Structure 1
Amino acid sequence: MTLFEKLNQHFEETFPSAGITAPNDLQEKVLQRSKQGGDLLLVAGKSAGKSVATAIAALEKVPEQCEGSPRVVIICADSEQAKLTAALLVKVSRRKEIYVELAHDKGNMIEQRNHIFEGADIVVGTAKRIYDLYIQNGINMGKLKLFILDDAETMLKETTIGQLRRVADSLPKCQRMIFANALGPKLEKVMDDLLLNPLVLEF
């Protein structure tokens, strides 16, 4: 049985209902890396399946509901992408009662903070809102297992890079993944700051 088949079985065959019938090569390799541990830089085009890979990696780290602080934080390009990613995670994990909470710029930050405090296994949001919650002690990173930047090439403003560095500096020893549509000099610098000896996959 493959890693994906085991994960789908664990989540009671919910992957097909979310449109995920079998992983492509990219998703299989991301799942393998999530299982192995170690940082990852993934460079692939918009239609390559990175959003599904993000969900698979997150659920591999949180197969069951956890108590206390989040185990996975996913930072997306914008609020809409955060909502889509969270919706996919909720659909797949619905039979395990894993708590997925949003933390994006278009939501009420106090409500988001309260929901995270009440118990969030996975937090999906935007760089600015995750940063704002972090500096106000609204999100505890102490038990984090996986930190993902999705569409990282959209997060290269100096202000955003500074926010990401500050959050990343606070993380415990955990796995970090950066997903991007394209790799350029500025993103390479961010990669050097945020990742430790990453596996680099290009599709």
Structure 2
Amino acid sequence: MSFKKLNPLLKESLENLEFDAPLPFQKEVLPIIKGGADAYVIGKKGIGKTAALVIHTIHKLKAEAFEDSPRALFIVENQQKIAELKDEFSKYIRNTDLRVYGTSERYDFEKQKVEIYYGQDIIIGTPAFISKLYFQNALHLGQIQLFVIEDADYMGRNNAYNHVLRLTESMDRFQSVITADEINSKIANYQNGYMNNARVLKFKD
């Protein structure tokens, strides 16, 4: 797959970043997830997993804002990961009107409720905090098209696994992608839950 088949606004962003062609890993994984398949993307850090997900998300959402409810939800381990992922998105959406919101356990909860209510396309947060937002009616999940757990090796800790299961019960007809360095028993169990015949894509380097 080349970048030629992506949304024009996204292609423009890639050109501005001087990305002429996908990395070997991205060339393999992007066509599969772009086709809508649920997937486990397993590989070491540094091979381009995050960039591939960001590119896929922007393309899937047609590089444009739409109404008020979020359409993509990213689950990450901690506040640092939230900031890093939000920064990564910011590189690719500068010429679009997509709205990316990084939640924070350190920021006023009521203000976050308001900021989300007035419209966000992509939400990033930890399992526990996203659950808190949802169960306090601050986050609508009915329009989620893409649900991602990034760097999911931590999912066996702090009740993260169960938080995710409860969140997925409120979503309908969404694509799910999980990335990790290695596949473990916790994330493998999602195959018996909300993952739909997920592809397991393993990359050594």
TM-score between the two structures when normalised by the length of structure 1? 0.90
Q: Secondary structure at the match of 2:159?
A: helix
Distance apart, 1:142 and its partner CA: 0.8
CA shift digits 1:29-48 (9 cap, x unpaired): 33212321121111111111
Residue aligned with 1:98, SS: coil
Secondary structure of residue in 1 paired with 2:177: strand
SS at 1:167 equivalent: helix
Matched, 1:39 2:62: no
Deviation (angstroms), 1:16: 4.6
The Cα offsets for residues 118-156 of structure 1, whole Å up to 9 and x where unpaired, read as 110111111111111111111111111100000111121
Name the residue aligned to 1:131. 131
* Contact 1:104–1:130 (CA under 8 A) maintained in structure 2: no
Residue-by-residue CA offset, 1:66-102 (whole Å, 9 max, x unaligned): 1120110111121111111112212211211111111
Structure 1 SS opposite 2:193: helix
Determine the C-alpha separation between the residues in 1 that align with 2:101 and 2:158: 27
CA contact (8 A) 1:12 1:95 kept: no
Deviates more, 1:69-78 or 1:82-91: 82-91
Please name the residue that 2:188 is paired with. Answer: 188
Shift in Å, 1:184? 2.0
Report the equivalent of 1:9.
8
1:18-68 alpha-carbon deviations (Å, 9 max, x no partner)? 574432232233321232112111111111111111201211211211112
Deviates more, 1:173-182 or 1:158-167: 158-167
Please give the alpha-carbon distance, in whole angstroms, between the structure 2 residues aligned to 1:33 and 1:115: 34
CA separation of 1:65/1:200 partners in 2, compared to 1, >3 Å: closer, same or farther?
same
Q: 1 CA distance for matches of 2:8 and 2:176?
A: 26
Q: Which portions of structure 1, spanning 4 or more consecutive aligned residues, are displaced by more than 3 angstroms?
A: 16-21
Contact 1:30 1:57 in 2 (8 A): no
Question: Where do 5+ consecutive residues of structure 1 fail to align?
Answer: none
What does residue 156 of structure 1 align with?
156
1:43 touches 1:183 (CA, 8 Å); kept in 2? yes
1:106–1:22 distance in 2 versus 1, CA, 3 Å: farther
Identity %: 28
Matches within 5 A, 1:31-180: 31-63=30-62, 64-157=64-157, 159-180=159-180
Aligned partner of residue 94 in structure 1, secondary structure: coil
Task: Write 1 or 2 for the structure with the bigger share of helix.
Answer: 1
- Please say which of residues 141-150 and 49-58 is displaced more in the overlay: 49-58
State the secondary structure of the residue aligned to 2:44.
coil
User: Is the CA contact 1:27–1:50 (under 8 Å) kept in the aligned structure 2?
Assistant: yes
Secondary structure, aligned partner of 1:137? coil
TM-superposed deviation, 1:8: 6.2
* Matched residue type, 2:184: G
- Using the alignment, how far apart are the partners of 1:20 and 1:125 within structure 2? 28
State the TM-score, normalizing by the size of structure 2. 0.89
Partner SS state of residue 86, structure 1: helix
The amino acid across from 1:119 in the alignment is G
Residues matched between the structures, number: 202
